[in-house]
Structure 1
Amino acid sequence: MRFFKDWGRFMMAGAGALARWEIENAKSITGSRKKLLLIALLTIPAVLGSIAFADQIGPALPDLLGGKKAYSPAFYSLGIYMVSIAIGMGAGLITGCIGAGGGFIIAPALMSAGIKGILAVGTDLFHIFAKAIMGSVIHRKLGNVSVALAAVFLIGAVLGATTGGVINRMLYEINPVLSDAFITTVYSLMLGFLGFYALTDFLRSRKAGKGGDAHGGGEGAELGGLSRSLQDVKFPPMIKFDEDLIPGGRRISWVFLVLSGMLVGLAAGIMGVGGGFLTFPIFVYILGVSSMTTVGTDIFQIVFTAGFASITQYAIYGFIFFTLAMGMLIGSLLGIQIGALVTKVVPGITIRGFYAMAVLAGFMNRIFALPSKLGEMGVISISPGLGSLLNNIGIWLFFIVIGGFSVWVIGTFLKNIPVLKREEA
């Protein structure tokens, strides 16, 4: 039980940190006319390609860009493009309103819409990279970035992202169904654990009459027992950090940074979530880095980890839908703005409950999709009809919950526009 609570708190802190990064990026993009104009210009070829040119352009693409082996770049159909905007908006509403990573639902949502798992992962990674580059929030945080810490960490992140990308591509080459089953299993485990923890946390908080946000607040610079033990290991070179916060700073062996980076990069390469949800809790709870330094360093690593993984492990092999990435970017920017405003008029305990529902909906979606994939590979004996029925149940449950949540958030926003205007004034 203690392990469940500690690991759940670890994951929730990561989800909250990822959401704060997403919200800050969205504010940076929507607050700049030049960036909004750039998004509009990039959207024009995506829409035109989706409407008119898919048949003419797709087959003529060179192998390097995925014209032969895979499904991108990204002229597919206007319907799927609109679905990607809706998925991005749903994820943005969760991120902005709940204060926890809505990006967890993007890959499952894309897979439910008929996109292969490896394409969903690659597209999600590229969407995160594009958002990070366009957000350009690094310059605000440079004072809190430990360059040495980030550089050594990125060595491991590059190795981990490469490993994750190779695993996904290798499984896809063996059998696309195996690739989907693997990604589905990973998401089922992660979303299942996080969802049930969030549910128990919500029920416990409601019983105790507590409000609060979904991620449980920020973390300080205090050291736990594990952090002290790791920092006591003197295996050179030692990396120095937190000099501005702690007299003389702190030091940790490069080995632990590289190993941590490998874990984050592996998660990014396999799941397509940028790894940001792991960096914050690893740095704060395990390595003993202050939350101030962690925030800046995390932003720094997301740009490079997501960029490296999306381009070198997926884009050059044709496993990215660029137009879908643009659609998700547009939808998420809008969703985050609306969701963040709704938090001003909705009790925190209600938001916690919705977060548990959203994550569990993602879990149900993937766990119900797994039997049909295992049946196709002959791992279990299940009729195609039953497998298809379970898969459809998971899809309907998922989109009903996420769609219902989205309608509630947008409705609450529209209903409270006068209140929000008065607060702003």
Structure 2
Amino acid sequence: MSEAFVIVGAGLAGAKAAEALRAQGFSGRILLFGTEPERPYERPGLSKSFLQGTSERENIYVHPKHWYAEHHVELRTSTTVTAIDREHKHIRLANGQQVPYAKVLLATGASPRELPDAGPHSVYYLRRVEDAIQLRFAFTKAKRVVIVGGGWIGLEVAAAARAAKVEVVLLERGEVPLLRILGPEMAKVFTDLHRSHGVDLRTGARLGHIIANADGRAKGVELVDGTRIEADLVVVGVGALPNTALAEAAGLAVDNGITVDEHLRTSDPDIFAAGDVANAFHPMLGQHIRMEHWFNALSQPAVAAKSMLGLEASYDQVPYFYSDQYELGMEYSGFVVPGGYDQVIVRGSTDTLEFVAFWLKDCRVLAGMNVNIWDVTETIKELVRSGVAVDVVKLSDASIPLADVLANAKDTGAKDTGAKSAGPARSADGPDQVH
């Protein structure tokens, strides 16, 4: 029997890993297992264009239907892997079948964090394509929706609901949405954006319980302070949890995801992990981080594939994510722990929603967010990666190209004999998860 590489999880990360293995010349068996009936698809559109009905279902898939057979990838949908037998090197399926492996990649993703008192059918969560289809249809019938959670998913669903002319009440426990991720300076931009589009955004709101009809369907919520909010549907977006049960049962190291090194190798040298479930050591940051977003699922598999083949590869991409809400499109590059910066510099205007914001520590760029300004992401990433001190006045001056700011900073740093060659300082605090 030919050598078999098993990929558990048929999402974006799993599909790109299979693609990368073939691109690297691997000719053995590739088995790709997914619990959903769908072939691998990308999730970002589920809370953006697909949810709003501006893109078609066919656009979400990673590969055409025929790609898997053409590349001899044995795609098995609606199939659950229940165990990994590391001693005998085989996986076990829900039907009892055992499949031997030479290497395993775990790309099991994450699942929405569920409310403890919500029944199985009373509220909406958004993770799978079926969820998006159901929610998109519900928007055509609803007059008002309550959204619990002001993270990226909650805000994007709010934007989609308003596009469908549905009234939105959005409940956020914190002072403002996205406070941990963006800090108060930029979180305010998104707060103002949603309120300007008619969202009833209630901060400091603590959910008491779901109000349900006799059939178990949610008809609103009651807050801890006794406030009752009636609605036609309730959507919950309060974060996600990495799907680590399979790894834990196999005895792999797990800590806020499956713990992997920069090569995406787990505590077992023949098992790897990538995507939302992987808590990977980042060489530039000098710590483990786990990011729940498209870019990791897209980019990590190429490194995992090389590592599975015994080739030298490390994952050190500058963290990146993006969001689209109403007329605001943004890209965020870098990594900042809450309170880990000492100033925010803005070039452009937050009033017109055309600007770039930078989070700095000791005049070094930790992260940058470009809003409705394009073709600057790579320069922002280079600023982050360089770790050089920048001229803050020039950084804030939109008339000076970012590339010139970077070049000047590098030139100044090279002339400074006391300049450090290491990357920007980072706190050792845990990561800020991003959907």
TM-score, with normalisation over the residues of structure 1?
Answer: 0.27
With CA pairs under 8 Å and 6+ residues apart, which has the higher RCO, 1 or 2?
1
In our comparison, the structure showing a higher alpha carbon Rg is: 2
Q: Which is helix-richer, 1 or 2?
A: 1
Q: Which is strand-richer, 1 or 2?
A: 2
TM-score, with normalisation over the residues of structure 2?
Answer: 0.27
